[in-house]
Structure 1
Amino acid sequence: MHTRLIRSHERRRWSDGAITSWQSFPATGSFDLAANAFGVLMVHNDDLVDAGAGFDTHQHRNAEIVTWVLAGAIEHRDSQGNCGLITPGVVQRMTAGRGITHSERNASPRAEHLTAHVIQMWLPPDVDELDPGYAEADVTARLVGGDLVPVVSGRAVHHGSGAIAIANRFVALHIARLQPGRPVTLTPAPFGHLFVAQGSATVIGTEFDAPLDLSVGDAVRFTDLDDHVAVSTSEQAEILFWEMHASFDL
């Protein structure tokens, strides 16, 4: 197993004045996202969006886009007629397929000055030129117990689990709202990407002699992740974990 720690401040920062994006992989202005991917995770953006601001209508193709909101609300509208309001606890997946246009905006009025905090992640489908699609689900109740819960998955093992389907059979996104004294064990996989979305956490069972103490915005990338790695917290924390069984390098 190989473990790489990426601290929050090591990420690329991009801002246009109304949106500030901390990017685990260089996304803004990148025309070869696969070259900088880990496993098949191409984009992992941690965005702060001012009230009334957002991304105007733009196009995507052959991408699976997953959105998770930490604070505030994001309004989604697309060329397939889908309109969604994404709030904390609601996970969204958009299949761009052969082509879709959409917009994403902070749903709060400018006068209220409420910043939206959103994590957005992009992966490829395992088959190109699919029909565009959209799905969302409120997973709040599933996260109450503090377990690591699959919320978006293309893995056959998660069929019927309540996870939203994604058009990539090699990946699953797990989320946990960690509780003190209740560690969770990460799912073994050739590639794993762990992100601390809120709070702080500790990772044990890696090849390092000491536990890894993580703060909000920190990430850990695992290669050949085994079944001995666990994550715990002394307070409360929220973690996102991508289990991946494929890579652009394979």
Structure 2
Amino acid sequence: MQTTLHPADSRGHANHGWLNSYHSFSFAGYHNPARMHFGALRVLNDDTVAGGMGFGAHPHDNMEIISIPLSGTLEHKDNAGNHGIIRSGDVQMMSAGTGIAHSEKNHSSSEQVKFLQIWIIPNKRNVTPRYDQQSFRAEDRRNQFQQVLSPSPDDAGVWIEQDAWFHLADFDAGHAAGYQVKKSGNGVYVFVLEGEATIAGQQLRRRDGLGIWETEQFDVQATTDTQLLLMEVPMQF
């Protein structure tokens, strides 16, 4: 088993007033040659957007883009005619494929929205752009791993063009479980949303990240009530 620890305070940071963003990997003005990606996971941004503000229409291509709101409401529009509003418990994905332009804005004029912006490098280029969003019940991740993303439309969660699986988990203090890697050769990047946990023998705190690879399984034990996001991705792509 190999691991790499990214403490919360080691992330890149940009505060634009309307946007306060922490970057787990190199992004925009933050460039760290040692933190370019974890396998096919290219971007993990922890964003807070002020009321009434957001990202205006801008283009993407050949990237799988996932948004996971933590609080507040986020509004999506794109030039393919898709329009959605998501909140905590929802997961949104967009396969940019051959090219799409979209906007992501705070749906509230007064309350902040906090969300994770995640980019995955796809295993197919120039696919037809595609959008999806799904809602997931909080009780279905209590002391268990709740699958919210997969590589197949026939599996649980939104699906993307990559052999990747995402799981959310809300563990009570003291709860322990083992995570089984879905595909040989994949690694898992664990991001602690809230609380503290021991994962693969490492003690993690709020907003710490841990990359784990060259293993088929690892253990997770919550030290306190803990919320986790596990992102399993290919290490070679």
TM-score (norm 1): 0.86
Give matches, 1:85-164, under 5 Å: 85-109=85-109, 112=110, 114-141=111-138, 143-154=140-151, 160-164=154-158
Check conservation: 2:150, 2:156, Cα contact below 8 A.
no
Per the TM alignment, residue 30 of structure 1 is displaced from its structure 2 partner at its CA by: 7.3
Aligned length: 233
Please state if 1:197 is matched with 2:170: no
Check conservation: 1:23, 1:43, Cα contact below 8 A.
yes
- 1:27 corresponds to: 27
> What is the alpha-carbon root mean square deviation over aligned residues?
2.1
| Range with greater deviation from structure 2 (56-65 or 216-225) | 216-225
Please state if 1:165 is matched with 2:162: no
Check conservation: 1:52, 1:105, Cα contact below 8 A.
yes
Check conservation: 2:196, 2:205, Cα contact below 8 A.
yes
Q: Distance in 2 between matches of 1:18 and 1:141?
A: 29
- 1:71 corresponds to: 71
Please state if 1:244 is matched with 2:237: no
Check conservation: 1:66, 1:122, Cα contact below 8 A.
yes
Per the TM alignment, residue 141 of structure 1 is displaced from its structure 2 partner at its CA by: 4.7
- Deviations 1:101-145, CA, capped at 9 Å, x for gaps: 000011111xx3x21110011012211111111001101256343
* Higher relative strand content: 2
- 2:177 corresponds to: 184
Give the gaps of 5 or more residues in structure 2.
none
Give matches, 1:48-87, under 5 Å: 48-87=48-87
Check conservation: 1:22, 1:45, Cα contact below 8 A.
yes
| Range with greater deviation from structure 2 (176-185 or 7-16) | 176-185
- 2:204 corresponds to: 214
The ranges of structure 1 where at least 4 consecutive aligned residues each deviate by more than 6 angstroms after the TM superposition are: none
> What is the aligned-residue identity percentage?
30
- Deviations 1:163-214, CA, capped at 9 Å, x for gaps: 211111x2111111122333222233531100001222222xx4xxxx4221
CA separation of 1:30/1:81 partners in 2, compared to 1, >3 Å: closer, same or farther? Answer: farther
- Deviations 1:76-122, CA, capped at 9 Å, x for gaps: 1111111111100000111111010000011111xx3x211100110
SS in 1 for 2:66: strand
Check conservation: 2:26, 2:37, Cα contact below 8 A.
no
Q: Distance in 1 between matches of 2:139 and 2:147?
A: 10
Check conservation: 1:187, 1:243, Cα contact below 8 A.
no
TM-score (norm 2): 0.91
Check conservation: 2:63, 2:97, Cα contact below 8 A.
yes
SS in 1 for 2:101: strand
- 1:18 corresponds to: 18
Check conservation: 2:3, 2:211, Cα contact below 8 A.
yes
Q: Residue type matched to 1:89 in 2? A: G
Per the TM alignment, residue 38 of structure 1 is displaced from its structure 2 partner at its CA by: 1.0
CA separation of 1:27/1:131 partners in 2, compared to 1, >3 Å: closer, same or farther? Answer: same
